[in-house]
Protein backbone atom coordinates (compact mmCIF):
# COMPACT_ATOMS: atom_id res chain seq x y z
CA UNK A 1 0.00 0.00 0.00
CA UNK A 2 1.30 3.42 -0.95
CA UNK A 3 1.89 5.77 1.94
CA UNK A 4 -0.22 8.91 1.81
CA UNK A 5 2.51 10.89 3.51
CA UNK A 6 6.05 10.38 4.68
CA UNK A 7 8.30 12.45 6.91
CA UNK A 8 11.97 11.65 7.40
CA UNK A 9 13.61 12.66 10.67
CA UNK A 10 17.39 12.50 11.00
CA UNK A 11 19.30 13.08 14.23
CA UNK A 12 22.87 12.74 15.35
CA UNK A 13 23.29 9.81 17.75
CA UNK A 14 23.11 11.76 21.00
CA UNK A 15 20.56 10.97 23.72
CA UNK A 16 19.62 14.63 24.12
CA UNK A 17 18.37 14.58 20.51
CA UNK A 18 15.88 11.80 21.13
CA UNK A 19 13.30 14.18 22.60
CA UNK A 20 13.29 16.06 19.27
CA UNK A 21 12.14 12.90 17.53
CA UNK A 22 9.68 12.19 20.35
CA UNK A 23 8.14 15.64 20.10
CA UNK A 24 7.85 15.35 16.32
CA UNK A 25 6.13 11.96 16.64
CA UNK A 26 3.73 13.29 19.25
CA UNK A 27 2.99 16.27 17.01
CA UNK A 28 2.18 13.96 14.11
CA UNK A 29 0.11 11.68 16.36
CA UNK A 30 -1.86 14.67 17.61
CA UNK A 31 -3.10 15.36 14.08
CA UNK A 32 -4.71 11.89 13.95
CA UNK A 33 -7.90 10.67 15.55
CA UNK A 34 -6.23 9.08 18.54
CA UNK A 35 -6.44 9.72 22.26
CA UNK A 36 -3.67 11.35 24.28
CA UNK A 37 -2.59 8.06 25.92
CA UNK A 38 -2.12 6.37 22.53
CA UNK A 39 -0.26 9.46 21.32
CA UNK A 40 2.08 9.19 24.34
CA UNK A 41 2.55 5.48 23.68
CA UNK A 42 3.55 6.08 20.06
CA UNK A 43 6.09 8.66 21.20
CA UNK A 44 7.27 6.24 23.90
CA UNK A 45 7.85 3.42 21.39
CA UNK A 46 9.85 5.58 18.99
CA UNK A 47 11.86 7.07 21.87
CA UNK A 48 12.60 3.58 23.24
CA UNK A 49 13.67 2.35 19.80
CA UNK A 50 15.89 5.33 19.00
CA UNK A 51 17.42 5.32 22.50
CA UNK A 52 18.22 1.61 22.15
CA UNK A 53 19.91 2.24 18.81
CA UNK A 54 22.07 5.04 20.21
CA UNK A 55 23.00 3.01 23.31
CA UNK A 56 23.52 -0.37 21.71
CA UNK A 57 24.08 0.02 17.94
CA UNK A 58 26.38 3.05 18.43
CA UNK A 59 27.50 2.35 22.04
CA UNK A 60 26.38 5.83 23.09
CA UNK A 61 28.79 7.53 20.69
CA UNK A 62 27.80 10.76 18.99
CA UNK A 63 28.65 11.43 15.34
CA UNK A 64 26.43 8.80 13.71
CA UNK A 65 23.06 9.37 12.17
CA UNK A 66 19.81 7.72 13.16
CA UNK A 67 17.07 8.07 10.56
CA UNK A 68 13.40 7.67 11.23
CA UNK A 69 10.82 7.47 8.45
CA UNK A 70 7.28 8.16 9.57
CA UNK A 71 4.83 6.74 7.04
CA UNK A 72 1.19 7.58 7.31
CA UNK A 73 -1.24 5.22 5.58
CA UNK A 74 -5.04 5.50 5.75
CA UNK A 75 -5.22 2.57 8.18
CA UNK A 76 -1.89 2.60 10.00
CA UNK A 77 1.14 4.53 11.08
CA UNK A 78 4.53 3.00 10.36
CA UNK A 79 7.91 3.99 11.75
CA UNK A 80 11.08 2.73 10.09
CA UNK A 81 14.22 3.35 12.13
CA UNK A 82 17.57 2.94 10.41
CA UNK A 83 21.12 2.73 11.73
CA UNK A 84 24.43 1.40 10.45
CA UNK A 85 25.83 0.36 13.83
CA UNK A 86 26.01 -2.97 15.61
CA UNK A 87 23.03 -5.17 14.80
CA UNK A 88 20.99 -6.84 17.51
CA UNK A 89 19.78 -10.41 17.81
CA UNK A 90 16.09 -10.19 18.77
CA UNK A 91 16.20 -13.82 19.94
CA UNK A 92 18.77 -12.87 22.59
CA UNK A 93 16.63 -10.20 24.23
CA UNK A 94 15.86 -11.39 27.76
CA UNK A 95 12.14 -11.72 28.53
CA UNK A 96 10.71 -9.04 30.80
CA UNK A 97 9.61 -10.63 34.03
CA UNK A 98 9.84 -9.91 37.74
CA UNK A 99 8.05 -10.53 41.00
CA UNK A 100 6.31 -7.28 42.11
CA UNK A 101 6.52 -8.44 45.74
CA UNK A 102 10.27 -9.09 45.62
CA UNK A 103 12.24 -5.85 45.49
CA UNK A 104 15.45 -7.60 44.44
CA UNK A 105 13.87 -8.74 41.17
CA UNK A 106 12.68 -5.29 40.05
CA UNK A 107 14.20 -4.35 36.69
CA UNK A 108 16.06 -1.06 36.19
CA UNK A 109 16.43 -1.64 32.46
CA UNK A 110 15.67 -4.10 29.71
CA UNK A 111 12.09 -2.90 29.32
CA UNK A 112 12.37 -1.32 25.85
CA UNK A 113 11.67 -4.32 23.64
CA UNK A 114 8.82 -5.44 25.90
CA UNK A 115 7.28 -1.97 25.58
CA UNK A 116 7.53 -2.05 21.77
CA UNK A 117 6.04 -5.52 21.53
CA UNK A 118 3.23 -4.68 23.95
CA UNK A 119 2.15 -1.38 22.41
CA UNK A 120 2.77 -1.83 18.70
CA UNK A 121 0.69 -4.05 16.41
CA UNK A 122 3.75 -5.20 14.44
CA UNK A 123 7.47 -5.11 15.24
CA UNK A 124 10.00 -6.28 12.64
CA UNK A 125 13.78 -6.14 12.67
CA UNK A 126 16.20 -6.92 9.86
CA UNK A 127 19.80 -6.24 8.88
CA UNK A 128 20.70 -5.82 5.21
CA UNK A 129 24.22 -5.00 4.01
CA UNK A 130 25.21 -3.41 7.31
CA UNK A 131 22.03 -1.42 7.68
CA UNK A 132 19.68 -2.29 10.54
CA UNK A 133 16.00 -1.52 10.09
CA UNK A 134 13.44 -1.66 12.86
CA UNK A 135 9.86 -1.35 11.66
CA UNK A 136 7.04 -0.47 14.05
CA UNK A 137 3.43 -0.50 12.91
CA UNK A 138 0.35 0.80 14.70
CA UNK A 139 -3.10 0.22 13.18
CA UNK A 140 -5.34 3.24 13.31
CA UNK A 141 -8.95 2.98 14.35
CA UNK A 142 -11.43 4.76 12.14
CA UNK A 143 -12.86 7.93 13.73
CA UNK A 144 -16.36 7.85 15.15
CA UNK B 1 17.57 18.70 35.34
CA UNK B 2 15.62 20.86 37.76
CA UNK B 3 14.30 19.05 40.80
CA UNK B 4 12.43 21.02 43.43
CA UNK B 5 12.80 19.45 46.86
CA UNK B 6 11.72 20.24 50.38
CA UNK B 7 11.26 18.42 53.66
CA UNK B 8 8.05 18.06 55.62
CA UNK B 9 9.29 16.70 58.95
CA UNK B 10 11.25 13.58 57.95
CA UNK B 11 9.63 13.19 54.53
CA UNK B 12 11.49 14.47 51.47
CA UNK B 13 9.25 15.73 48.68
CA UNK B 14 10.86 15.75 45.24
CA UNK B 15 9.12 17.45 42.32
CA UNK B 16 10.87 17.37 38.92
CA UNK B 17 10.28 20.70 37.18
CA UNK B 18 10.81 19.08 33.79
CA UNK B 19 8.26 17.70 31.39
CA UNK B 20 10.43 14.70 30.53
CA UNK B 21 12.38 12.05 32.43
CA UNK B 22 14.10 10.12 29.66
CA UNK B 23 17.47 8.59 28.78
CA UNK B 24 19.12 12.01 28.55
CA UNK B 25 18.09 13.03 32.10
CA UNK B 26 17.67 9.68 33.89
CA UNK B 27 21.31 9.43 35.00
CA UNK B 28 21.25 12.86 36.61
CA UNK B 29 17.90 12.12 38.24
CA UNK B 30 19.23 8.83 39.64
CA UNK B 31 22.36 10.54 40.99
CA UNK B 32 20.34 13.21 42.78
CA UNK B 33 18.04 10.62 44.32
CA UNK B 34 21.06 8.57 45.41
CA UNK B 35 22.58 11.63 47.11
CA UNK B 36 19.38 12.36 49.00
CA UNK B 37 19.01 8.72 50.08
CA UNK B 38 22.69 8.52 51.08
CA UNK B 39 22.29 11.62 53.21
CA UNK B 40 19.62 9.86 55.27
CA UNK B 41 16.31 10.45 53.52
CA UNK B 42 14.33 7.26 53.85
CA UNK B 43 10.81 8.51 53.18
CA UNK B 44 10.40 10.16 49.82
CA UNK B 45 7.39 11.46 47.94
CA UNK B 46 7.99 11.83 44.20
CA UNK B 47 5.51 14.34 42.81
CA UNK B 48 5.18 13.87 39.04
CA UNK B 49 2.68 16.69 38.48
CA UNK B 50 4.90 18.48 35.95
CA UNK B 51 6.01 15.37 34.08
CA UNK B 52 4.16 14.37 30.93
CA UNK B 53 6.71 11.94 29.49
CA UNK B 54 8.67 9.11 31.11
CA UNK B 55 10.45 6.39 29.16
CA UNK B 56 11.89 3.12 30.45
CA UNK B 57 15.20 4.82 31.36
CA UNK B 58 13.33 7.35 33.51
CA UNK B 59 11.24 4.60 35.05
CA UNK B 60 14.41 2.59 35.71
CA UNK B 61 15.90 5.56 37.58
CA UNK B 62 12.80 5.79 39.80
CA UNK B 63 12.94 2.02 40.43
CA UNK B 64 16.63 2.37 41.32
CA UNK B 65 15.79 4.85 44.10
CA UNK B 66 13.01 2.60 45.34
CA UNK B 67 15.39 -0.37 45.51
CA UNK B 68 18.10 1.67 47.22
CA UNK B 69 15.72 2.62 50.03
CA UNK B 70 14.66 -1.02 50.21
CA UNK B 71 12.87 -2.06 53.34
CA UNK B 72 14.32 0.79 55.39
CA UNK B 73 11.68 3.30 54.29
CA UNK B 74 9.54 3.97 51.25
CA UNK B 75 9.38 5.95 48.06
CA UNK B 76 5.84 6.76 47.00
CA UNK B 77 4.60 8.59 43.94
CA UNK B 78 1.83 11.15 43.51
CA UNK B 79 0.00 13.24 40.89
CA UNK B 80 0.73 11.01 37.91
CA UNK B 81 -0.71 12.04 34.55
CA UNK B 82 -2.87 9.44 32.84
CA UNK B 83 -0.46 8.92 29.94
CA UNK B 84 2.49 8.37 32.30
CA UNK B 85 0.30 6.10 34.42
CA UNK B 86 -0.17 3.89 31.36
CA UNK B 87 3.59 3.11 31.49
CA UNK B 88 3.34 2.14 35.17
CA UNK B 89 0.43 -0.17 34.31
CA UNK B 90 2.12 -1.66 31.24
CA UNK B 91 5.25 -2.53 33.22
CA UNK B 92 3.18 -3.56 36.29
CA UNK B 93 4.99 -0.93 38.36
CA UNK B 94 1.56 0.20 39.59
CA UNK B 95 1.71 -2.98 41.69
CA UNK B 96 5.13 -2.08 43.06
CA UNK B 97 4.73 1.59 43.94
CA UNK B 98 2.12 3.21 46.17
CA UNK B 99 0.64 5.89 43.92
CA UNK B 100 -1.54 8.70 45.29
CA UNK B 101 -3.75 11.30 43.64
CA UNK B 102 -2.41 14.20 45.71
CA UNK B 103 0.77 15.16 47.55
CA UNK B 104 -1.17 15.46 50.83
CA UNK B 105 -2.47 11.90 50.52
CA UNK B 106 1.06 10.65 49.83
CA UNK B 107 2.40 12.57 52.84
CA UNK B 108 -0.32 11.25 55.13
CA UNK B 109 0.31 7.69 53.98
CA UNK B 110 4.07 7.97 54.55
CA UNK B 111 3.68 9.68 57.93
CA UNK B 112 1.42 6.87 59.09
CA UNK B 113 4.06 4.25 58.40
CA UNK B 114 6.41 3.12 61.12
Tell me the ipTM for this assembly: 0.92
**DSSP, res A69:** E
Q: Does residue A144 or residue A103 have the better pLDDT?
A: A103
Give burial (CB, 10 Å; 0-12/13-18/19+) of B40. exposed
Q: What is the pLDDT of residue A2?
A: 67
* Per-residue pLDDT band at A46 (split at 50, 70, 90): very high
CA distance A49 to chain B (A): 11
CA distance B31 to chain A (A): 14
Instruction: Say whether B23 and A22 touch across the interface (CB within 8 A).
Output: no
Q: Report whether pLDDT(A144) > 60.
A: no
What is the per-residue pLDDT across B4-59, written as a single tens digit (0 to 9) for each? Answer: 999 999 999 999 999 999 999 999 999 999 999 999 999 999 999 999 999 999 99
Domains in chain B: boundaries: 3-100
Instruction: Please state the φ and ψ torsions of residue A140, each to the nearest 5 degrees.
Output: -100, 135
pTM: 0.94
CA distance B62 to chain A (A): 8
Q: What is the pLDDT of residue B91?
A: 97
* Sequence-distant (≥ 6) Cβ neighbours of residue B56 within 8 angstroms: A48, A109, A111, A112, A115, B87, B91
- A contacts of B28 (beta carbons < 8 Å): none
CATH 3.30.750.24 fits B3-100, yes or no: yes
Distance between CA atoms of residues A6 and B57, nearest Å: 29
**Of A96, A108, A114, which has the smallest distance from its Cβ to B64's Cβ?**
A108
Instruction: Say whether B53 and A40 touch across the interface (CB within 8 A).
Output: yes
Average pLDDT, chain A: 93
Of A27, A18, A127, A120, residue with least CA distance to A77: A120
Amino acid sequence: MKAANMIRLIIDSRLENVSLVGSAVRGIANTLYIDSTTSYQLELCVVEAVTNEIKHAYHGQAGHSVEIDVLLYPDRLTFKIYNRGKSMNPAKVAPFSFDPSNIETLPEGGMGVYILQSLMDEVHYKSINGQNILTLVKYLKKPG
Amino acid sequence: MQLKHNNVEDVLIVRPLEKRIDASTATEFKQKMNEWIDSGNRRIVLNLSEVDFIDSSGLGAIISGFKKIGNNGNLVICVVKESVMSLFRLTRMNRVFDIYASENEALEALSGKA
